[in-house]
Amino acid sequence: MAEGKLLVGVDIGASSIKVVQIKESRRALSIIRHAHVELPRDTIIDGHVMNPSVVTEALQEVFARAKITQKEVAIGVYGQSVIVRKIAMPLMTKEELQESIGWEAEQHIPFDIKQMTFDYEVLNRFPEEQRMDVLLVAAKRDEVNDVATVVRDAKLKPLVVDINAFAMQNCLEKALNGLPKDRTVAIVDVGAANTTINVLSRGTSAFTREIQTAGASITEEVRKQCNLGWEQAEAYKCGSQGGLVPQDVNAAIDLACGHLAGEIHRSLDFYLATSGEADITRIYLCGGGASLAPLSRAIEEKARRPVEIFDPVSAFAIDKRVDEAALRARGPQVAVALGLALRRVKEVRT
Ligand SMILES: Nc1ncnc2c1ncn2[C@@H]1O[C@H](COP(=O)(O)OP(=O)(O)OP(=O)(O)O)[C@@H](O)[C@H]1O
Ligand SMILES: [Mg+2]
């Protein structure tokens, strides 16, 4: 396969698998294939694959639905076993860094280093101050292997394993035609089980955090408070039940959105307090939770910053082979898959 060829983006989320294939031409980037397949609840918990055969079958189904024949894919990992740290180090050469990064990683990773796979990248060099910032990324090797195994079992080739937080960033960067160089913004993906935050300062990732409260926690709170079944609570939340939503359900949704917004706000405040960096001027919201209007309102209220629903699809041309209405309806939900689909074979992240 040609080096530099785009990979199929495969986002294995807690509630569904999204796949996207992009084609690059001289004039535009086009989405040429897309499909979405729901997963039964509890198939994936905090990034762990609990039921591998279900995921493998769903992968085969989603590729068949999308009519994708390319086997080379990029996948994302996320959850509590993924560690991202920006570390300050003395200025050194590439070779010196390669030699000392293992020791350095041991100091910053709160797990046994032997169980981790890690990668790093120099973010900034400050020669006058004889220091540099290095981004260290680590994930539990077993968990990466588990996800890669289900993907291989579906007869796919996972050539790139990325971190969801970076895939979102990659997608935002493409959609905005470059990240803002003079401002700090945050991108927040509210999925079913996980909320991923990535603060982008002067064009690079300055802070990431995963919160285990997201769309499913909102449904759960509605279910409990209003004494409903899960499906009913989910349908009310997504506005898919038809007819009026009872007042107590709306109140429960608002309350649950307030809790999640509070957690997001605390994470952003923690970043500002510990980094001493400039203010966060905008929050881009994506993931399925971005479609929940009371949630974006609640984040805006709690964080007192403008929230913009990030719909990356509008930045791409859409090929006629794609069910455009279905794709557009899911716009913010495909941010991670699109970010992964922009990855290339043997790409070196700069
Ligand atoms: N129209 C909608 N209104 C409100 N919530 C919605 C809507 N559509 C989807 N959601 C919610 O979004 C969540 C699914 O989003 P998404 O597909 O981004 O999650 P995921 O990637 O499967 O999960 P995770 O990222 O946590 O692993 C679910 O909780 C679902 O209820
Ligand atoms: Mg997700």
The set of residues, in sequence order, having a beta carbon less than 8 Å from that of 143 and lying 6+ positions away, is: 47, 48, 77, 79, 81
Beta bridge partners of 140: 116
Which protein residues are within 6 Å of ligand 1, measured from CB?
Answer: 13-16, 191-194, 214-216, 219, 234, 237-238, 287-289, 291-292, 333
Instruction: Give the ligand 1 atom nearest the CA of 195.
Output: 26
> Minimum-distance ligand to the CA of 334?
1
Q: How far does the centroid of ligand 2 lie from the alpha carbon of residue 29, in Å?
A: 23
> Minimum-distance ligand to the CA of 167?
2
Give, using CA atoms, the residue closest to atom 21 of ligand 1. 13
Reported pTM: 0.94
Residue-level pLDDT at 27: 81
Residue-level pLDDT at 46: 78
Q: Which one of 147, 188, 257, 333 would you pick to mutate in the ligand 1 pocket, going by the greatest count of ligand atoms within 8 A of its CB?
A: 333
Tens of pLDDT, residue by residue, the chain (350 residues) = 555 689 999 999 999 999 999 999 888 899 999 999 999 999 998 778 999 999 999 999 999 999 999 999 999 998 888 999 989 999 999 999 999 999 999 999 988 889 999 999 998 899 999 999 999 999 999 999 999 999 999 999 999 999 999 999 999 999 999 999 999 999 999 999 999 999 999 888 999 999 999 999 999 999 999 999 999 999 999 998 877 899 999 999 999 999 999 999 999 999 999 988 879 999 999 999 999 999 999 999 999 999 999 999 999 999 999 999 999 999 999 999 999 999 987 644 43
Give, using CA atoms, the residue closest to atom 17 of ligand 1. 288
> Minimum-distance ligand to the CA of 330?
1
Instruction: Give the ligand 1 atom nearest the CA of 17.
Output: 22
> Minimum-distance ligand to the CA of 17?
1
Buried b (16+ CB within 10 A) or exposed e, 36-70: bbebeeebbeebebebeebbbebbeebbeebebee
Q: How far does the centroid of ligand 1 lie from the alpha carbon of residue 291, in Å?
A: 8
Domains of the chain: 8-82+138-218+253-341 (3.30.420.40), 83-137 (3.30.1490.300)
Q: How far does the centroid of ligand 1 lie from the alpha carbon of residue 216, in Å?
A: 8
Q: If we measure between CA atoms, which residue out of 336, 205, 195 comes closest to residue 265? A: 195
Q: How far does the centroid of ligand 1 lie from the alpha carbon of residue 332, in Å?
A: 10
Give, using CA atoms, the residue closest to atom 1 of ligand 1. 238
Residue-level pLDDT at 346: 61
Q: How far does the centroid of ligand 2 lie from the alpha carbon of residue 16, in Å?
A: 8
Q: How far does the centroid of ligand 2 lie from the alpha carbon of residue 95, in Å?
A: 36
Q: What is the 3-state secondary structure (H, E, C) of 233-289?
A: HHHHHHCCCCCCCCHHHHHHHHHHHHHHHHHHHHHHHHHHHHHCCCCEEEEEEECHH
Angle (CA) 277 283 287, round 5°: 130
The set of residues, in sequence order, having a beta carbon less than 8 Å from that of 107 and lying 6+ positions away, is: none
Q: How far does the centroid of ligand 1 lie from the alpha carbon of residue 288, in Å?
A: 3
Q: How far does the centroid of ligand 2 lie from the alpha carbon of residue 288, in Å?
A: 8
> Minimum-distance ligand to the CA of 241?
1
